[in-house]
Structure formats: structure tokens, C-alpha cells
Structure 1
């Protein structure tokens, strides 16, 4: 029997016998016309706007989840992230406001822009250590996010990665990060401590902005308690911006 990789789309749900219900289990494969199709990709917007969806189980054969796959699934509470997942694209969980906890496997290398936009109940996300790309706006309006461990291989902290994360108190940016963009961390009202990477290639102006309760920023193992001192030392080191506003 032949085997082929299969992308689940809005137009082929019937082949896998998937109906609009509250609880869905997606099989790892199915047979059609003497061919075994292996589930490989969750396609663009395939479950977008399914308000009845509360839980979904994905097979570990899934390697890619395309943009907006679960966008506006406002009642989705539980979903497993497949162990084989390599890439999850932008806005996949946009406005999935009932999600609380997620864990990504270690082989996931790419997490797209605005992945968790307006996931208001999201509390914890276990990110893969080897992930290199974390999109801009990833945690925008994740108002209940409390803790986060950024990937050890992360290359850039992009704009609005942490925006209106009202309960997060500490962010440690790993030394792998070579650039911190404008408003990377903004309007995080409970944030009181940040650790910067030792030698990023660039830091844009207002990278840390409108976080009024920051008490400590650690850079090169030195504790700064006031923005002016940190900004002076950054400029001495060749950075041209005021990072802490």
C-alpha cells in the first residue's frame, strides 16, 4: 500500500470523519483509495471560529500547524501539542481565551507571530529550549501569564512579545538573544525584574516601555535599580538607545 502525507483543510474534514462537535480526536492516518494518508499538517484556518470546540487531541505525526488554525475558538480549553511538531505559524491560538496551560516539545523550532494574542486565561507555557524563532506579539494581552522560560537558543526578542501581560513578575532574556526590538516588553504592570543578555548586537529604543513597577534590571551580573545608570552604561558599551523607559 502506498503512503502519502496529508494536510487537513476545511475542504477535506469529511475524509477524516471530523464533525463540528465539542470534543475532537484526529487520527494519525486513514486509508482512502488503497493509499494510507499520514496526518502531517493542520491547515490554514481549518478550525477557525469553531465556538463549540472545547477539546482536541492531535496525533504525534503532525509536524506543522498553519496560520489561524484555531483562531477564535473561544471555548477551547485543552489541546495537546504533538511530540513531532516542528513549526507552528502565526495567530494559531488568536483569541482562544479559555486556554490555560500548554507545553511544546523540544523539537519545535518556530513559533509564529501573535501566537497567543488575547489568550486572557493563559497562565503557563513551557517553551522548547531549542526554539530559535519566537514571533512578535506572541503574548499580547495574555493578562494571566505568570511565568515564562524563554528558549535557550532564541535569536531575537521581537516587538510586543510581552504586551499587557499584567501578572508576569520576572523575565530572563537568554544570552543567545542578539537583538531586542522596540516595545519588546511593554505595559507589564507587575513586572519587577528583568535580566538582559550580556552582549546583544542591538537594542532598539524603548525596548522596555511602560512597565512602571520595575525595580531591578540585571545586565552582566550587575544589578541596576535606576534606568539612567543602566542607559549610561549601555551607551558606554556602544548601544545608542535608552532601553528602559
Structure 2
């Protein structure tokens, strides 16, 4: 006759002690580890977390919205002007050559500078509706960026050096100066991009060295095109500038030898074209 095997149940009190010890160990260090990630908690409230490292990267990564009872608020990198974690801290995916696809979960708001710097194999990323800040500098394989929400700003150099990026759809609710300087500089494969109507300025070097860009329709509310905005866009043939434009830098189109400006007759755009020996064509009332 077979003996019954007794099932051992861990008393609730001991289980609570084990959990308490785990929490205590997590709180005693500035860095914590949990299921393949290294993270840091908010030193004031201890309620939110920043994931600073992925310990075991794979080709596809889904970044969680919570980690060990903490809401994930940010992905680690460098804060503009100084390094938040000391001289040796790298961005979460900086110099990574394994990851190809990333899904950032809902609730995450910030992707700090250099988090993805030189993540050379990254091809596709899906951003949540909660994202407020991000940067993908020198992600040379990045082809697809899916914005899924209320993005207000594309920060300086956000896509700089993303040499495989061919097309990008910018959310319509971006702020009026929401495309910061150098945002797409060095995107050498960029062929198509929309400029939402509430954008009022093309800032410094925004599209410099975008050598595949052939034509662009600017926002009807563009007032200024700043220093070097389209510098060395050598294939740029057609740009539409509406009559609200009132300030265009002398070198905004330096190196754009094939360019023709299309605009409203008698506008500042026509005056600028004439003064800088750039061909000008009158824009029809209806534009396809």
C-alpha cells in the first residue's frame, strides 16, 4: 500500500517574512535586479522606477510597465547636460547589437538621452500613448517608428544618424516648435515626412544632410526656417513654403543646388528665392 505524500505548505507568516526580506534587500541598494532588468527607484516616493539596463537582451524586447511593485516611468540614459548616474553609466540599449524590435508598454513616459544611442540592429519600435520624451540617436538600422499617442515634442537630435529611416509620420498634436534642432540630421535615407500644420518653425539643422529627401510640403503656418535647416540636402528639388513665412536664414538651403521653391506670388518666399538665386514657381490655389 502506497504511502500518501504529505504536501508541505509554507505558513503565511513565513511567506510574508520572505517577501519582506526581498523588499528590504531591494530598498537597501541604489540598483535593483528583477527578471533580467536592472532598475532604480524614485528616491523620494519610492513608487516609480527607471529601468537602466537590460541584462539578457534578445531580438524582440517588450519593456514592462511595472517592475517589482513599481510603476516604470522611464528608460535609462543620460539627462541633458549631465550624467544622472555617474561617468560610467551607459544608456539602457547603448551600443547594443542584438535587439531588433522593441515594444514600450503603456504608462512609460520618458526615454532619456542616449538610451538607444548606437543601438545598431534596432529596426522597429512601438511607442505608447503616454510617451513624452524619447531619443534614437545613431540607430542606423531603424526603419519603423510607430507613434501611438500624445507626443508633444521631437527633441534635439532625436533621430540624428538614423541612416535607414525612410519615412516618418509625425503626430498632428505636436507643439508649434515641437521639432527641435537637428532632429533628423544625417537621416540619409529619409524620403518622406509630414510637417503638421501647427508647426511654426523649422529649427537649426533639422534636416541637414538628408540626402535622399526630394520634396517637402511645409506647414501652412511656418514662419521661420532657421540656420542650416536643409543644409546639404543635395537631392531636394521642390519645397512648398506658404505666405506666413517671414524669416529664412541665408544658409537654410546651402548645398541644395537642385532646389525650386514653390510659393505664393508676392510673398516673402518669392523675395527670398530671388535674393538667393533659387528658382521660384508660383503655387496654384489647389495643391495635391
1:145 offset after TM fit, Å? 0.9
- 2:122 corresponds in structure 1 to 76
Show CA shifts across 1:159-179 (max 9, x none): 111122122111112133332
Q: 1:49-128 alignment to 2 at 5 Å? A: 49-88=95-134, 92-128=135-171
Structure number with greater Rg is 2
Equivalent of 2:190, from 133, 145, 162? 145
- 2:180 corresponds in structure 1 to 135
Q: How many residues are treated as equivalent by the alignment?
A: 220
1:232 offset after TM fit, Å? 7.0
- Relative distance call for 1:223 and 1:181 in structure 2 (3 A) is closer
Helix, strand or coil at the partner of 1:57: strand
1:221 offset after TM fit, Å? 6.2
- Relative distance call for 1:20 and 1:106 in structure 2 (3 A) is closer
1:143 offset after TM fit, Å? 1.4
Cα distance in 2 between the residues matched to 1:100 and 1:69: 18
Considering fraction of residues, name the structure with more strand: 1
Q: Which runs of 5+ in 1 are unaligned?
A: 235-241
1:159 aligns to 2:204 (yes or no):
yes
Looking at both structures, which has the greater relative contact order when contacts are Cα pairs under 8 Å and sequence separation is at least 6? 1
- 2:261 corresponds in structure 1 to 217
TM-score of the two chains, using structure 1 as the length reference: 0.79
Equivalent of 1:6, from 18, 39, 49? 49
- 2:62 corresponds in structure 1 to 25
Helix, strand or coil at the partner of 1:231: helix
TM-score of the two chains, using structure 2 as the length reference: 0.68
